[in-house]
Structure 1
């Protein structure tokens, strides 16, 4: 089993003392990356919930110890060079942030903590019945040597806040709506309460940063302003929670919005960012202040003069800037799940650690028609649409980015209004070709240009080059689906305008004709299907798929399935009449079965027999995605769980937090082979992949290799597993004798790697939806039934003439 797709930017990372390693919070673990190669070296496993803080113990370069905190309510001490857990402190409350002033004050230089070492934690306080209190956030003091809370509550807030600490370790603070609370860390062996001051503002703060040597604090607000207080706490700190120096609403220079009587000598305001500040950090020498926000530009402010220089075109909102003990190396964390290593002070990006791109919101009008993922099952890659008009190729086996393709060249900055959206991505079977569709969104009802692009790659690094651009491939209509031919350089595109087009690459034509022409793609054929109830209306083409050998092209004409000969562009047959529009078609591997998925108020999964031209079985399931194994008749679907589902006849809802289920089928049988309940199914995807190194390990273990099933959830976290490995350790149930029986002990399938399994009604649906099948005497029913069941025109004329001939013979007799 392989997992990945975790976030690298849920919390600030930390450098090792020799700056050769970067410790990154990745879900429930801490991953250690090499700063020279950008590759993961090892992982610290042990937490059971999201890791929210990692702090390296400073010292000589050989020292390799760190503290971590997590939402599982524990603080842990590690030797990260050996990946060894050395100590665990359980405070039984989720920890959202942690600072340890003793480390920065130089009070610790070994793996043995002194008797008076304390950490300050931002925790969430809940009542015994788990109902949130009005003030859920608390700042608590924790003894690291005695492994317990010190009983001191420094502050209470509506929600847990992030704690910021000065590089010297003398001060730490939090933002609390329109206030800043700053504490002075107690001196060694001090038994006095932690002293606090409060600074005020008329807008909500977003974060704060403390100067490494001076009593100077900078804070950003929601409007993009940066406020800098100099000399705070020079007069006094308060003891406990008493607020001091309420003062007037104007600062010493008369500007509104800052309390001039706060305990600070002066206050300065800078304003360059158009929106809220996400990043604030003083340089290690204290001469500069770095800031960043949604616009994706790192701004370097000279503290004495206010002069600026910029690192633009990062392409994503900025989150954290982390310094190392090497003054020439820093790490910049971005919202697109990337960490850039910067050469300072020039701010040059030298290397990037790229995680899987996070999902982005498409405009509502395109929400249902955008393809989420495209898979290269041979190399185990997934192609993802990103926010900055790119396609990211990500290795599911190696859990790292392979490449990025810029689909549309635009000077896009994060936070700008989206004007272009990549709606569809499709890959050829061998992964060497790609086709994309992008839409320029209309402005004031004008525009809406659709662009179809074809790409080619000659390398294993998936560096695609643009081959052909087709503007408005279906006139003014949008493209609903793209599909590659399994063996030829051929692509079908279907449109909501009522037609589909078959595109071929001129390279294939040149090989046949032995001519030298410009390489590119051209339209080979056009097809449509008219609604015979309304003859002037062509039905929208909503889905398309090629059969395993490429001899049949299936195109959904809204609620019916049309089968075509793609070479001769001839209509072969028409199947069914669904109640809702068909959104997905897929052939079940090398079998003669076709799958169709309908969505709407009456969703349905249907399996059609190509040999009988009729529906074999169906389920009324709301399907999110479907994938078919290439070398068998197996397929898997990702279905949404109904909110009213119950488990084994009880009145309790199924699986708290589970909203989807994966069902594995053989196309010949409506009874699932196995089922797995999952989280975050809405927006998720499935794919069968070849096993590669995973299969080689299975062969070494004496197991027969099988295709792997990949599940990616809505947050782009993923897992790969062998769906046919019934003895896997993660599976709790055992396999039945021949297949899964529909009873109370075996209806779970083979149990879930994500939890228990829901109850489904497994009765076979024998009702066919307007099947089409040839008759022994077709002339008797040739014009009866629905109009979409009419035969192709050449066959229709032949059958009609045969019917006249039959009638004449009968009359003579």
Structure 2
């Protein structure tokens, strides 16, 4: 089994002492990347939940030790060069952030640390109920690393765990707590006194803070984009931290908000350039400059003494972290689009990039459920994702890395911009050489707005697509519901909510006369409709001889070459939103208040079996009747085996309603499935499957774009049990991703069908009964039409006489 797609920016990375490696928190492991190639060279595996902190032990370049903390409640000490675990400390509380002042005070190796070396942790008190009125789940705790235990004292309590920031000198550390900054002074190594603390106030909520490397100076950013700088904080008095804890918690509702004039600081300066909240603040290593960044994706370089600023080139995504190395010419910047860029300082030129899978983006509510999430190239093992900046990312599921990006339409990114264009659909041809995209330009104040269909071509394995044809308003002013490629030809069908379908062909498919001009590009070959009903889904059969199009609640079957309606199947209770062929069977999926999965026999033109399941996605194996569905579990399900799970992956053979296998998963809403070719040349992980190349792999991508690949037909697949956790420090609730295998009967799903509601329809021996059923452009010739109509009148009269 192969896993990947994890976030690279859930926590700040850390450079090795020689700056040749970058340690990145990726899910439950710490991935070690080479700074010269930006490729992963090793991994530290051992944590069972999200790793939230990685701290490299400084000193001699020959040293290769680091500390990590995780939501599994453990602190671990590693030799990252040998990927060897040296020590584990279990505090039995989820750790959201960790700092170790001893590392910055010159005490490097674990053996060189003083008798009582301490770490300061931001943990979650899981015994406090989240919905309690004044539930304070966040705590700042002190941990004795030497004795592997908590020191017992609680430095602060907050509503939720906060990220701890520490000064480069190791003398101060602090947290933001709504409109306050709580700053502690690290006690001397021989001191037994409590940790001293001061509080700085503001009129807006803080988002980030940073300490000067040498001076008693702290900077903080707020939600409005302002930067506040306190100089000489704590010069007068540090209050006793234990008295504050005994007095109560640091809750804004219990303390009267103060003003900056009452803070223990010599002066406070305010700078303002960013239009939205500050995400990044960091002083330069020499302390002469302050770097800031936000949602607009611009890194601002402030001169500390004068307040003058200059701007570094736009990176194109909101900035999160800026990490320095011991090499003054190398730093790293982490972006919200799950990318880490290695920068050459001081020019800030990007030399290499670690490109992770793009994270999901939110589309407007009006288009909720109308945008397809993924398109797969099953031979190359690629997934095409719609990203927030109007691009399509091609990501290798086999190698867990980005292959390329395609800019569908241009965008001048500015923070707070309203979304004006949405890429709603992306579809790939069977060989992955062609792509079609649909974008919707939203109207402004009810004026304007249009739909654009684009065709792309690629002649390389790097998926560098070039735009071939643009079609504006392909279905008049109606939206496009589906786009499907012919399996063997350069032919595409698009269906619309306006009640028509169009078949598009490339100019290479159309025979040209010798004296005719050869035009390149795509053009409309045929148009079809059925009773003016909205066309909601479309799919070609495996050989391309049959085109299935859903006309709202019925399925229409077409001959794509002659553009003729062949048959009409069933009447569903809810609109059909997905069609897919599995061998000689056709699958239809309806969603809504009465969802249903139906399997239709193409040889009999009738329904074989169905389930009342809420299906999120479906995938069919090529050259067989196997298919897999991702079903959402009912919210009322209380089965113990489904605890914490919200979805099921069901593997079927279309000939049998009993599933072959079943797996429960997390974060299924918004997820996807795909069968990939395990014996393709792109797959280089045969050793994971016992040295053999599986014929097919099943890929599951969850709502956070994490994924797993496994052989669903392997007998050992039933024994697989994997739990992976992915949590966001800034989130109030923990989001988890897990995978566990289970077998058994389906949980109370209705297998009976109402044949009255699902009665198939096909041409009969009485042609006058179906003469006016179908597309208007496909009527019989007038003489034939009149003859059939007269026969119908004669039979009706005969029936009346009888």
| Normalised TM-score (structure 2) | 0.90
Match for 1:597 among 579, 585, 589? 589
Q: CA separation of 1:291/1:812 partners in 2, compared to 1, >3 Å: closer, same or farther?
A: closer
Q: CA separation of 1:86/1:109 partners in 2, compared to 1, >3 Å: closer, same or farther?
A: closer
Please report how far the alpha carbon of residue 311 of structure 1 lies from its aligned counterpart in structure 2 after TM superposition.
2.5
Alpha-carbon deviations, 1:692-722, whole Å to 9, x = none?
4668727983767321111111111111111
Please report how far the alpha carbon of residue 756 of structure 1 lies from its aligned counterpart in structure 2 after TM superposition.
11
CA distance in 1, matches of 2:194, 2:732: 64
Q: CA separation of 1:756/1:362 partners in 2, compared to 1, >3 Å: closer, same or farther?
A: farther
Q: CA RMSD in A?
A: 6.4
CA contact (8 A) 2:201 2:257 kept: no
Q: Pick which of 249-258 and 801-810 moved more.
A: 249-258
Q: CA separation of 1:82/1:26 partners in 2, compared to 1, >3 Å: closer, same or farther?
A: same
Q: CA separation of 1:397/1:90 partners in 2, compared to 1, >3 Å: closer, same or farther?
A: same
- In the TM superposition, 1:17-166 aligns within 5 A as 17-109=17-109, 113-126=113-126, 127=128, 134-166=135-167
CA distance in 2, matches of 1:3, 1:147: 32
Q: CA separation of 1:730/1:793 partners in 2, compared to 1, >3 Å: closer, same or farther?
A: farther
CA contact (8 A) 2:217 2:231 kept: yes
Q: CA separation of 1:741/1:770 partners in 2, compared to 1, >3 Å: closer, same or farther?
A: farther
Q: CA separation of 1:76/1:756 partners in 2, compared to 1, >3 Å: closer, same or farther?
A: farther
Alpha-carbon deviations, 1:514-542, whole Å to 9, x = none?
97623211111111111xxxxxxx11111
Match for 1:705 among 687, 690, 694? 694
CA contact (8 A) 1:30 1:44 kept: yes
CA distance in 2, matches of 1:743, 1:78: 30
- SS of the aligned residue for 1:811 comes to helix
Please report how far the alpha carbon of residue 21 of structure 1 lies from its aligned counterpart in structure 2 after TM superposition.
0.6
CA distance in 1, matches of 2:257, 2:689: 72
- SS of the aligned residue for 1:606 comes to strand
Tell me the matched-pair count. Answer: 799
Please report how far the alpha carbon of residue 297 of structure 1 lies from its aligned counterpart in structure 2 after TM superposition.
1.2
CA contact (8 A) 1:300 1:310 kept: yes
CA distance in 2, matches of 1:794, 1:745: 70
CA distance in 1, matches of 2:549, 2:535: 7
Please report how far the alpha carbon of residue 262 of structure 1 lies from its aligned counterpart in structure 2 after TM superposition.
1.8
Q: CA separation of 1:267/1:241 partners in 2, compared to 1, >3 Å: closer, same or farther?
A: farther
Q: CA separation of 1:746/1:134 partners in 2, compared to 1, >3 Å: closer, same or farther?
A: closer
Structure 2, unaligned stretches of length 5 or more? none
Q: CA separation of 1:100/1:559 partners in 2, compared to 1, >3 Å: closer, same or farther?
A: same
CA distance in 1, matches of 2:77, 2:728: 48
Alpha-carbon deviations, 1:390-447, whole Å to 9, x = none?
0000000111111110000121234321111100000000000000000111110111
Q: CA separation of 1:793/1:31 partners in 2, compared to 1, >3 Å: closer, same or farther?
A: farther
Q: CA separation of 1:329/1:755 partners in 2, compared to 1, >3 Å: closer, same or farther?
A: farther
Please report how far the alpha carbon of residue 506 of structure 1 lies from its aligned counterpart in structure 2 after TM superposition.
1.0
Q: CA separation of 1:613/1:256 partners in 2, compared to 1, >3 Å: closer, same or farther?
A: closer
CA contact (8 A) 2:664 2:739 kept: no
Q: CA separation of 1:734/1:20 partners in 2, compared to 1, >3 Å: closer, same or farther?
A: closer
CA distance in 2, matches of 1:289, 1:564: 65
CA distance in 2, matches of 1:306, 1:733: 52
CA distance in 2, matches of 1:409, 1:151: 56
Q: Pick which of 508-517 and 429-438 moved more.
A: 508-517
Q: Pick which of 685-694 and 56-65 moved more.
A: 685-694
CA distance in 1, matches of 2:276, 2:792: 76
CA contact (8 A) 2:223 2:278 kept: yes
| Normalised TM-score (structure 1) | 0.89
Alpha-carbon deviations, 1:307-333, whole Å to 9, x = none?
111124322211111111111111111
CA contact (8 A) 1:245 1:262 kept: no
Alpha-carbon deviations, 1:153-183, whole Å to 9, x = none?
2111121111101111111111111111111
CA contact (8 A) 1:614 1:768 kept: no
Q: Pick which of 508-517 and 287-296 moved more.
A: 508-517
CA contact (8 A) 1:247 1:259 kept: no
Q: CA separation of 1:756/1:201 partners in 2, compared to 1, >3 Å: closer, same or farther?
A: farther
Higher relative contact order (CA 8 A, sep 6+): 2
Please report how far the alpha carbon of residue 232 of structure 1 lies from its aligned counterpart in structure 2 after TM superposition.
1.1
Please report how far the alpha carbon of residue 606 of structure 1 lies from its aligned counterpart in structure 2 after TM superposition.
1.0
Alpha-carbon deviations, 1:574-613, whole Å to 9, x = none?
1111111111111114xx2111111111111111111111
Q: Pick which of 740-749 and 44-53 moved more.
A: 740-749
Please report how far the alpha carbon of residue 553 of structure 1 lies from its aligned counterpart in structure 2 after TM superposition.
0.9
- SS of the aligned residue for 1:30 comes to strand
CA distance in 2, matches of 1:758, 1:611: 31
- In the TM superposition, 1:190-339 aligns within 5 A as 190-241=191-242, 258-339=259-340
CA distance in 1, matches of 2:4, 2:419: 29
CA distance in 1, matches of 2:160, 2:724: 47
CA contact (8 A) 1:674 1:740 kept: no
Q: CA separation of 1:644/1:629 partners in 2, compared to 1, >3 Å: closer, same or farther?
A: same
CA contact (8 A) 2:279 2:293 kept: yes
CA contact (8 A) 2:550 2:556 kept: yes
Q: CA separation of 1:741/1:292 partners in 2, compared to 1, >3 Å: closer, same or farther?
A: closer
Q: CA separation of 1:812/1:113 partners in 2, compared to 1, >3 Å: closer, same or farther?
A: closer
CA contact (8 A) 1:278 1:293 kept: yes
Q: CA separation of 1:753/1:464 partners in 2, compared to 1, >3 Å: closer, same or farther?
A: farther
CA distance in 1, matches of 2:278, 2:735: 54
Alpha-carbon deviations, 1:743-772, whole Å to 9, x = none?
999999997179997454556776661212
- SS of the aligned residue for 1:798 comes to helix
Alpha-carbon deviations, 1:175-209, whole Å to 9, x = none?
11111111111222222221212111121111110
Please report how far the alpha carbon of residue 295 of structure 1 lies from its aligned counterpart in structure 2 after TM superposition.
1.4
CA contact (8 A) 1:212 1:286 kept: yes
Q: CA separation of 1:785/1:683 partners in 2, compared to 1, >3 Å: closer, same or farther?
A: closer
1:779 aligns with 2:768: yes
CA contact (8 A) 2:611 2:750 kept: no
Q: CA separation of 1:686/1:797 partners in 2, compared to 1, >3 Å: closer, same or farther?
A: farther
CA contact (8 A) 1:228 1:269 kept: yes
CA distance in 2, matches of 1:26, 1:349: 22
Q: CA separation of 1:502/1:193 partners in 2, compared to 1, >3 Å: closer, same or farther?
A: same
CA distance in 2, matches of 1:106, 1:743: 36
CA distance in 2, matches of 1:133, 1:65: 40
Structure 1, unaligned stretches of length 5 or more? 531-537, 646-650
CA distance in 2, matches of 1:746, 1:764: 37
CA distance in 1, matches of 2:115, 2:78: 19
Please report how far the alpha carbon of residue 341 of structure 1 lies from its aligned counterpart in structure 2 after TM superposition.
1.0
Please report how far the alpha carbon of residue 794 of structure 1 lies from its aligned counterpart in structure 2 after TM superposition.
10
- SS of the aligned residue for 2:455 comes to strand
CA distance in 2, matches of 1:399, 1:557: 39
Q: CA separation of 1:251/1:699 partners in 2, compared to 1, >3 Å: closer, same or farther?
A: closer
Equivalent residue, structure 2, for 1:625: 617
Q: CA separation of 1:619/1:249 partners in 2, compared to 1, >3 Å: closer, same or farther?
A: closer
Q: CA separation of 1:393/1:742 partners in 2, compared to 1, >3 Å: closer, same or farther?
A: closer
CA distance in 2, matches of 1:295, 1:334: 11
- SS of the aligned residue for 1:116 comes to coil
Please report how far the alpha carbon of residue 644 of structure 1 lies from its aligned counterpart in structure 2 after TM superposition.
2.2
CA contact (8 A) 1:678 1:755 kept: no
Q: CA separation of 1:573/1:367 partners in 2, compared to 1, >3 Å: closer, same or farther?
A: same
Match for 1:613 among 590, 605, 612? 605
Q: Pick which of 122-131 and 141-150 moved more.
A: 122-131
CA distance in 2, matches of 1:598, 1:146: 60
CA distance in 1, matches of 2:731, 2:184: 63
CA distance in 2, matches of 1:767, 1:738: 48
Q: CA separation of 1:788/1:526 partners in 2, compared to 1, >3 Å: closer, same or farther?
A: closer
Alpha-carbon deviations, 1:621-670, whole Å to 9, x = none?
1111111111101111111111223xxxxx65652211111111111111
